[in-house]
Amino acid sequence: MTAATVERLRAGFASGRTRPLEWRRTQLQALARMLRTHEAELAGALARDLGKPAPEAYATEIGFTLGEVRHALANLKRWTRPRRVAIPLALQPASARTTPQPQGVVLILAPWNYPLQLLLVPLCGALAAGNCAVLKPSELAPFTSALLATLLPRYLDTDAVAVVEGGTRTAGELLGQRFDHYFFTGSAGVGRQVMEAAARVPAPATLELGGKCPAIVHDGDLRTIARRIAFAKFTNAGQTCVAPDHVLVLREHAPELARQLRGAILEFFGADPAQSRDYGKIVNERHHRRLADALAEALDGGATVLSGGRHDARRRYFEPTVLVDAPSDSALAREEIFGPVLPLVVVQDLDDALERARQHQPPLAAYVFTRDPAVRARVEAGLRAGAIAVNACAVHLAAPGLPFGGIGASGLGRYHGRHSFEAFSQARPVFRKPLWPDTLRMAYPPYGGWRDRVLRWLLR
């Protein structure tokens, strides 16, 4: 089944159908039309899978993807133009340019936490670049997966785009096929399997993984800081790869920040978030159990809950939780939390905060809250991360002009906006030189004499 699907798309790509700009525009316009027409159904599927409130589903998934599609449509002609390249004197007369070429048939493997956005935003870049694409939605978001598998063939060219549903076995079968680009969002363990599959071809791979994103609170309006951290952390019930994983707060600010975080949670979700229509749920029982076990381990080791802590596996509910003094050897301190549990780590000063942040692998993002340009500069220079945001968390993803991606263990490659187009393109060089005059004769053998001197002058 998977082999036949890939071969069908490979034949579609070989036919040249995806290369014209008009085809690309038509596909992108159809994708936007699908999102607008079926907004309510898509939001309903996201609610069933993850408990996403409709406004959150629009802002972080449907509307987010529409913004990427609109950006691509507005800039597609400019992105596809050849770029002239300067030619050194030794090669004159000549001209050169790079022309973006589609890579072929690409594979996009999406995760469950943003099952629409993280499938369709890469697809937007693949279509803009003129590729065919095999899409595998996450089986852990079954309602969204099934709906997209139904809708996408109605709107997009079925000889260029195919949706393959299934679990780990299906993913393994797909990785056994030959693709021209592999795009994966998810865990580091599966990312390594994707890299191995790409290396066998060989083909390029884009990996969007994760990490422990730190938020350093140095100074500023603590009420605003708390609201921005709480918003980024507890959106999608904390199941966001760029959510602040832990807060490194100066000792003098820790009590007030804790108080303001409690206030922000109350403001956002009420006295009982279990009754809130604006708060999501954990994706499945396994992940709920993982979070519950991690919290219990931290509490057994001496951590103190400052807010929240209640959970219910039956309803996949986990209350927004803030705690302090999580043991350094606990899962909450060692591993990416990926849920609505926020440890506060009290630090002495900025040096202490930077040292603690550097104890982990470079994350997808790092955040600092400060009014002091010198503090901001030290964080930017002192931390390796996929992105740095100052006085904000997570919202930098909504700027399509900014590349999104990790570094080291948090990922490989960049996408969003033009960076998506370039990720799925080959910048193919084209070099042109007339046959007369034959200036290359300076480099022909036999060597020696005046030719050597002229050649050295030309190449100086």
Active-site positions read 208, 241
Distance CA 72, CA 61 (A): 17
Structure tokens at 107: 């594979």
DSSP state of 323: E
Distance CA 329, CA 425 (A): 44
DSSP H or E stretch at residue 21: helix 21-37
Distance CA 369, CA 249 (A): 10
Total H helices, total E strands in the chain: 17, 18
Cβ 258 vs Cβ 344: under 8 Å: yes
Distance CA 255, CA 261 (A): 10
Q: Beta partners for 273?
A: none
Number of neighbouring beta carbons within 10 Å of residue 431: 11
Cβ 269 vs Cβ 45: under 8 Å: no
Q: Strands 317-318 and 304-307, how do they pair?
A: unpaired
Structure tokens at 391: 């006085």
Residue that has been written with the tokens 């570094």 in this structure = 407
DSSP secondary structure string, 243-308? S--EEEEEGGGHHHHHHHHHHHHHHHH-S-GGG-TT----SSHHHHHHHHHHHHHHHHTT-EEEE-
Residue that has been written with the tokens 């993984």 in this structure = 209
Distance CA 406, CA 86 (A): 32
| Amino acid code (one letter) for 352 | D
Structure tokens at 201: 């071809």
Distance CA 21, CA 19 (A): 6
- Secondary structure E strands in 291-436: 304-307, 311-312, 317-318, 321-324, 341-347, 366-369, 388-390, 411-412, 425-432
